[in-house]
Structure 1
Amino acid sequence: MRNTICATLTATTLALCTALAGCGSASKPSTTAHAIAATGTTCSASQSGIRICTVTLSDTRQVDCVITAGTYGKSGITCDWAHAS
């Protein structure tokens, strides 16, 4: 009984993954990534290790980013590219 349930769940999962694999499409960027560079950055001061920065790009767009500076080398950056203006 247990093997039948596992086999059924595995088959269902594979079928869903296969069906969803072709969903959506990647959009082609209008400018190559290496042609755009940051020309300025303004960041908020933070005691907690989290800073919010506004990065100005060479094509004059601005993007907001959150930068975390954690302990033991665990740091990261994430930017809101969907709302770059």
Structure 2
Amino acid sequence: MEIKNNHIFYVLECADQSLYAGYTNDLQKRVLAHNAGKGAKYTKAHRPVKCVYFETFETKQEAMRAEYAFKQLKRSEKLKYIGRDV
């Protein structure tokens, strides 16, 4: 049985209120990895992190496209995107 929509674009808020965006196919495992210092070099230095937004997609390419587009936004636009108007 194939699981659909398991490609996830996610946004983490770090301890210093900075935002980190990424891709995963297991969000819970990925957030635990970030908080254990094994997720990414950036989040290792900005722990703890919490997931503040995610979207699911049918393909990895769609999720990674969303991640890339998000990373091109200004901080104020990112906050609006995740529902945190400034």
TM-score, normalised on structure 2?
0.26
- Structure with higher Rg: it is 1
TM-score, normalised on structure 1?
0.27
Structure with a larger share of its residues in helix = 2
Structure with a larger share of its residues in strand = 1
Higher relative contact order (CA 8 A, sep 6+): 2
